[in-house]
Structure formats: structure tokens, C-alpha cells
Structure 1
Amino acid sequence: MTTKPTTARFFKHLIRLIPKQFSGKVELQNTDGQVWQLYFYRGCITWATGGSNSWRRWRRNCTKCCPRISLETLSLYTYDVCESWQYYIVNNLLKQEKISLSRAICIIKNTLIEVLFDLIQQDHLDTLKITSLTCHLQAEMKQPIFRLSIYEAFEKVKPIWQAWCEANLQKYSPNLSPVLSKPELLEQYTSALTYQKLQILISKKLTLRDLAFYLDRDLLKLTKIFMNYVHQDIIQLTDVPDLPALSVVKIEALNRQTKEIQTKNSQLPETIIKSQKKLVVCIDDCSIVNQVMEKIVTKKGYQFIGIQKSALAVSTLIKIQPDLIFLDIEMPIANGYEICSQLRRIPHLKNIPIIILTGRGSVVDRVRAQFVGCSEFINKPVNLEKIEAIIHKYLYLANTKTDISVVGSLVPASC
């Protein structure tokens, strides 16, 4: 099998499949039913996804290009049904200035190269067929972050594929995961330390691409090492399932849930309804989170203020004196821990309930949050029922207890 014609043949096939200066989505499917989506803007490739491990690929490239972004702490809300949630998230992070343009381009470029490599590796390129060709592009796709002409894409993927073929690896996908089939032979042929390390790595069910990233090793060189064991039947390369997608909450769905919860709580006594004049504040640099929180809070009858700039949070809170605070941990300039610690040193704010919004649930994070004086944790994306429960606990029940204590103080002791 010659390597150069194979790469060229794929791109020639791709050029034949799509119209010139095409803008839209091309969906390709192989004979096994695997589907890939390629997005184009004026004949250039702008995004690609699909295959057997699209979320695994996306998570790995996000972590590689943006190591400081914790994917599990992201709050993802949208009014739109997006063409590709993965692209939407990158675009959203860029708009919120949580990542730089260069890092967004890094994610997209790495993803494009991996997807194109996987497509080239298909056994029967000519059987890749278009199952969908859509000219309509949604807003986030009409102003692409990054573009590659088909020729530029060919030049980037060609040397990677050639090196892979020269190592006789064309039949082995880098999306495969090593599995230990004969541990006794591995133990016999390697040192105790190497055996232990390999066992740990293999037990994690990572793909060759994952392993190369986490070990900071060249993918080709690492694969060659594993192939030595594959040829001896000590290790097998197998498929692994994709990683779970990030949770994206639709605003429409949130609104429906809010109405359902409101219906359940619509029979509140008139005296309680009249007393719901308290102020809830949410400090989060994500405008969408503040919009969602505002919908929940105001529909319960409370006042709401959203603060996006963490540097202004403390001075603003001193002026407005809220009754309940929701506070994001990960923010630029001043993080949630720092703000919480400052608030607890201010006399008229030190007893205000502060609810940490986070995706981090480790013991260390909880201890740190308790140390600076937070009241509770809520995982992001926020759950409507949990927010409702927090409001009920710290505003409704607290208000009820206050009313009871006031009434009790007016009752003569002789009664």
C-alpha cells in the first residue's frame, strides 16, 4: 500500500463530494455506519466531529490546549439548538473571554487534524458516502473561529499519515485502547517497575491518543512501543466507549421546569407571598448563568441582581446588602473563595448565606469552602429543584422562623 496516493486520494474524493466555495455541513458515513460531520465556510473546513469517540477527542484537546479550564465546572445554557455542541462550547468560552483566540484555534486545529486522519484511515475511501448535505449554517458557524483550505488541511495531515504508514500502522487506529491479555508474559519480559506502570496505564482504558497526551509522549513513538507487545500477543488493541458528553441545559426546558415547580408551590399562604421581598445575588462571570438564575429567583417573587465582574462584587454587596448569595468559584481576578473570605470579615454580611456554585466536589474543596465560611455547595450546571430548595431553606423557612420568634416575643410570659 502506497501512502502518498492514499492521502491525496482522500482529499481528491472530498473535493469531488462538495461544491466549490461550499458553506454548510457535510455528513459522511462509512460501510460500518460510523458518521462524521465536516463543516465548511466558503470552501474552507472550519470544524469536524463524529466517529466513535467525538467527546473523548474533544475533552482531550480542550484539556491539552486549555489546561486551566475545568470542563466539569462549566455551566452550559443555550436558547438555541446548535449544530455542534462541542463547537458551541468553544465559541462560548471565547466570547466569555475564558479562553484566548489562540487556545480556541488550538482546539479546533487539533480536532480537524485528528478527524481527517481518521477519515483517511478508512479502508474503502470511495465508499464514504454523503448522508446529508446542508447549506444552512447556524449563527456560531457563520463567523468561524478558524479556517483551513482543503489544500492546507492536506499538507498538515499528509506527513502524520505517511509516518504512520511507514511504521506499518495503517491498520491500527490511534483511537484503540491497549488491553493486557497475557500479564504473566509481560511480567516475565519487563522489570517490576515497568510492569507495574503498564498495568496501571492499561487499567485506565485510555486510547493510544489519550496515553500519548497524558504521558506527554509522541503518539507514533508510544504506539511503536505498544506494538512490540501486540506482536507478542501480550497486549491487544481494542475499541473503548466514548466519554460522556457535557451537560447542556436548554433555556426552554428550564422554563418548563420552572413552571412545573411554580404550579406545585402556587398555594402558598397570602402572608408568605407578601413577605417575599428579599434580595438574591448571583456572582458569576457567565451572563447566561445570571440570566437563568434571574428567571428562577424572580418567578419565586424575590428580587435579583447578577454580578459578572468579580472585582466589583464585594463593594457592590456592601451597598445592596443581599439576603442570599450564590457565588461561582472559578472567576478571573478574584475567585469565589477569596470573595467569600472577604464577606465573612464584613460585620453586616458575615451571617448572610453564601452558596458556592461549583463542579468540584472533592473533600479538599469542601474543606476549603467551609474554612472561608460558605454555607453550602451546589454543582453546576445548576439544578432547578436544588435552587428552589436553597431559596426555601434560607429565605422562606428563615422568614417563617423570624415571624414565629417575633410573635413569641409579644406573647406575655404569663400566657
Structure 2
Amino acid sequence: MITTTKPTTARFFKHLIRLIPQQFSGKVELQNTDGQTWQLYFDRGCITWANGGSSSWRRWRRNFTQFCPFISLETLSFYTHDVCESWQYYIVNILLKQEKISLSQAISIINNTLVEVLFDLIQQDNLDTLQITSVTCHLQAEMKQPISRLSIYEAFEKVKPIWQAWYEANLHNYSPNLALVLNKPELLEQQISALTYKKLQILISKKLTLRDLAFYLNQDLLRLTKIFMNYVSQEIIQLTNVPDIPALSVLKIDPLKSQTKEIQTQNSQFPETTIKSQKKLVVCIDDCPIINKIMGKFITKRGYQFIGIQKSTLAVPTLIEIQPDLIFLDIEMPIANGYEICSQLRRIPHLKNTPIVIITGRGSIIDRVRAQFVGCSEFMNKPVSSEKIEEIFHKYLYLANPKTEISVVGSLVPASC
């Protein structure tokens, strides 16, 4: 993004004040020359919520995970007949009413979202070209009684220091919604350690934005971006746009038949029956989608429920919520490895005795000792056979129908994953 004029917070908010009628309540939608849209929601002249841009769901999931780390979106169900103005705001609002999150958590999600959206609007190359495509005074129920309200001045004070530091670091041409692309891997490998290079390769392959990386690495966004910019200036790394992650899909069911409306994650392997069924629940945590697919087919065929978790950062909050009966856990995963996850789970009272089977392509004595040290129940080398999985089931789950014919799959888990 190349700026033609110096974008400042003061200039943006003056522009915003000119757009908004005094004591306005409703929605203002802005659109830039590239067709991107943003929605700003107001209550009596104060900002209550913001949405839109190129990373709307990516931003929302990141903020939700940051402030509500022990709630897994994959396990949530809501019962309502309301038509939603903004599903992202609606989910926060419902969780607050259900007392699943605190007021401070809800406000943190909202305020952090507001800051990011307003930052992105300030960074637009020409504020005067932002077109108002609609100004709506009528809002749906979930927006009429806002969780929090910020005056335009308060919003200005929150965004100003963040944007000013970004601008003074000469980063105003670079959006924090950009992702890294490894342009000259051989040069990068020469400049950093082998371990750091391997980790960076994994992170880059995930197509995470700068904001995502700062969150997952627990680093300050500005500081981390400055480090990467050293490699960008050498053309070792490039910054590029990436698509948004899939939105939560909303399954609308006829209220006369079910009286429910459920929110589920797209492509989630967590069906409605997982909550309601009394079947044993088995979880596999592995960033390899092939393993999760194979394990899922085998486990469900044996009569158990199955959930596959690919993102290691979602593992602990998801497991706290669903409380599985058996966990298969891979060691080698980015950001949080199997040892770290196992150690965290053993510190959670209702999971400290849950069987955890560590699976890995490595089988040294050191690996086995470390696995036992963090509290794993079993240690299995890849490739894992169906017979070994059956032994685990008999040992920890007590098959409901042990006479059922056993289907031998051979090497269940590929050693390459």
C-alpha cells in the first residue's frame, strides 16, 4: 500500500466526525477504491463496534482466542431466533449473557477489534476517497444495547500512539495484515540458526499475517515487524496479501421443528452429537490433516466419537471444554509441541488423569523419558498400526462391543507426517 498523503489519526477522526451526525445511532459503511468495506456502529454518537476489511474473521478469531483462551469456538452452540446484524458481535454478546465470558473479556475483544479496524482505516491511501455506501439508523436487537461505548475522542486516544509509532518506524506503507513469503531461503538460512530457520519456515507456510505472528509468538507487533523488515529490505522475505480465514457458518434450522440455531465452524469435525451423545470421545491433536483424516475414519468405525485438532494453539482450550476420554497427541507441531501441551493438560484438574498417547516419528530413549516426565500414558512410534490402536482402546476405553470384527488397516499413521 503506497500512501500519497500523510495519513494521521487527527485527520482521520476529523473526517469521521464530519461523516457522523451528532448523537447518531446506527451503522456507517465505508468503502475504499479497491472495494473493501468496513462497518462502524454507533450509539448516541459513540462507537460500539467495528468490522470489515480484508481480515475480518482472522482478526476476530485472534482477538477471541487472546482474551478467551479457555473457550473453543468449535464447541459452542447457541439457541436463538434473532436475525443478527454482526455474527461476531452477536457471539460475544450471547456468551456474555450466558456468563461464559466476563464483561471485561467482552470489552477487551470489542476494544481491541475497534483499534485494529480504525488503524486499518487510517492507513488507507486517501481518506477522502472512502465512500459512504450506507448509513443505517435501524439496528438489530443485539446492537441496540451495546456492551461498551467509546466516544470518538476516546477511540482517537487509543489508536493514536499505535499508529504514530508505526508511522515513525517508516512502516506506513506496510499493512500488519500482510503475510511473509520466503523469497531467498538460502540467504536466510545463512544468517540465522538452523533451529530458528526451521521454525520460521513452518510459520511462513501457515500464511499467518504479521498480527497473527505477533500473537502466536507473544511478541510486540511493532518490534517483530521491524525484525522482519531487515530481511524485506534485503529481498530475502517479501510481504504479500493473504485471504481471510473461513467464517463461522451459521446453520439456520426451522424454529418450529427444533427451536434452535447453531453456530459451527466450517469443515469442523465436531458434530452436534458430540455434546449430546454418551459415546466415548477420542481426540487426535496433529497438524497433519492426513493423520486426522485416517484416525477419524478408524476411530468412528470402532463406534467412538472423534475430533481432530490441527492447530496446537487451540488444543488446550478445546480439550478443557469437551473433556475427552482419550487423547492422541503428536510431538512435533509448530508454536506449541506435544510435550508442552501434555504438561499443560496435566495441570488441569479434570484432565490430569485423562489417557494421553504420544505418537511420534522419533523414538529415542530421551524422547520416551521426556514423554513420561510430562505425564503421558503411552508412547507410540509412527507408523502406528491398527492393532496397536485397538490395544489402546481395550486398555483405556473398554470397547462397548469387543466382539465386533477388527478391520486391519496396516500402517495407520504415515511415518512421513
The normalised TM-score by structure 1 is: 0.64
Amino acid at match of 1:111: T
Provide the secondary structure at the position in 1 that maps to 2:27. Answer: strand
Is it true that 1:167 corresponds to 2:169 in the alignment? Answer: yes
Of the candidates 363, 367, 372, which is equivalent to residue 326 of structure 2? 367
Match in the other structure for 1:389: none
For the structure 1 residues 228 and 327, does the alpha-carbon distance in structure 2 shift closer, same or farther, using more than 3 Å as the test?
Answer: closer
Give the conservation status (yes or no) of the 8 Å contact 1:77–1:248.
no
1:220-265 residue CA offsets vs partner (Å, 9 max, x unmatched): 000000000000000000011111111222233x757x7xxxxxxx
For the structure 1 residues 229 and 66, does the alpha-carbon distance in structure 2 shift closer, same or farther, using more than 3 Å as the test?
Answer: same
For the structure 1 residues 125 and 4, does the alpha-carbon distance in structure 2 shift closer, same or farther, using more than 3 Å as the test?
Answer: closer
CA distance in 2, matches of 1:157, 1:191: 36
Deviation at residue 194 of structure 1 after TM alignment: 2.1
CA distance in 1, matches of 2:61, 2:216: 12
Match in the other structure for 1:209: 211
CA distance in 2, matches of 1:19, 1:70: 39
Give the conservation status (yes or no) of the 8 Å contact 2:7–2:125.
no
Deviation at residue 6 of structure 1 after TM alignment: 1.5
Amino acid at match of 1:41: D
Match in the other structure for 1:26: 28
Amino acid at match of 1:55: W
Amino acid at match of 1:177: A
CA distance in 2, matches of 1:220, 1:3: 22
For the structure 1 residues 135 and 192, does the alpha-carbon distance in structure 2 shift closer, same or farther, using more than 3 Å as the test?
Answer: same
Deviation at residue 193 of structure 1 after TM alignment: 2.0
Match in the other structure for 1:16: 18
Match in the other structure for 1:249: 251
Match in the other structure for 2:231: 229
CA distance in 1, matches of 2:175, 2:133: 24
Deviation at residue 123 of structure 1 after TM alignment: 0.4
Match in the other structure for 1:328: 275
Deviation at residue 326 of structure 1 after TM alignment: 6.6
Match in the other structure for 1:6: 8
Match in the other structure for 1:136: 138
Match in the other structure for 2:96: 94
For the structure 1 residues 187 and 327, does the alpha-carbon distance in structure 2 shift closer, same or farther, using more than 3 Å as the test?
Answer: closer
Deviation at residue 80 of structure 1 after TM alignment: 2.3
Give the conservation status (yes or no) of the 8 Å contact 1:175–1:207.
yes
Provide the secondary structure at the position in 2 that maps to 1:36. Answer: strand
Amino acid at match of 2:27: K
Of the candidates 57, 60, 65, which is equivalent to residue 59 of structure 2? 57
Deviation at residue 196 of structure 1 after TM alignment: 1.5
Deviation at residue 213 of structure 1 after TM alignment: 0.3
Superposition pairs for residues 13-412 of structure 1, below 5 Å?
13-252=15-254, 328=275, 365=324, 367=326, 371=396
Match in the other structure for 1:306: none
Match in the other structure for 1:277: none
Give the conservation status (yes or no) of the 8 Å contact 2:5–2:126.
no
CA distance in 2, matches of 1:216, 1:235: 21
CA distance in 2, matches of 1:115, 1:246: 19
Give the conservation status (yes or no) of the 8 Å contact 1:3–1:165.
no
Provide the secondary structure at the position in 2 that maps to 1:159. Answer: helix
Deviation at residue 78 of structure 1 after TM alignment: 3.6
1:163-195 residue CA offsets vs partner (Å, 9 max, x unmatched): 000000000000000110110111122222221
Deviation at residue 58 of structure 1 after TM alignment: 0.2
Amino acid at match of 2:86: S
For the structure 1 residues 166 and 144, does the alpha-carbon distance in structure 2 shift closer, same or farther, using more than 3 Å as the test?
Answer: same
CA distance in 2, matches of 1:84, 1:375: 44
Provide the secondary structure at the position in 2 that maps to 1:40. Answer: strand
For the structure 1 residues 327 and 67, does the alpha-carbon distance in structure 2 shift closer, same or farther, using more than 3 Å as the test?
Answer: same
1:119-138 residue CA offsets vs partner (Å, 9 max, x unmatched): 00000001111001000011
Deviation at residue 288 of structure 1 after TM alignment: 5.2
1:7-35 residue CA offsets vs partner (Å, 9 max, x unmatched): 10100000001100000000000011000
CA distance in 1, matches of 2:201, 2:309: 28
CA distance in 2, matches of 1:228, 1:142: 47
CA distance in 2, matches of 1:112, 1:176: 19
Give the conservation status (yes or no) of the 8 Å contact 1:328–1:357.
no
For the structure 1 residues 182 and 77, does the alpha-carbon distance in structure 2 shift closer, same or farther, using more than 3 Å as the test?
Answer: farther
Deviation at residue 49 of structure 1 after TM alignment: 0.4
CA distance in 2, matches of 1:374, 1:61: 41
For structure 2, the 5+ residue unaligned runs are: 263-271, 282-302, 328-353, 355-392, 402-417
Query: How many residues were matched structurally?
Result: 292
CA distance in 1, matches of 2:39, 2:398: 48
Provide the secondary structure at the position in 2 that maps to 1:195. Answer: helix
Give the conservation status (yes or no) of the 8 Å contact 1:326–1:356.
no
The normalised TM-score by structure 2 is: 0.63
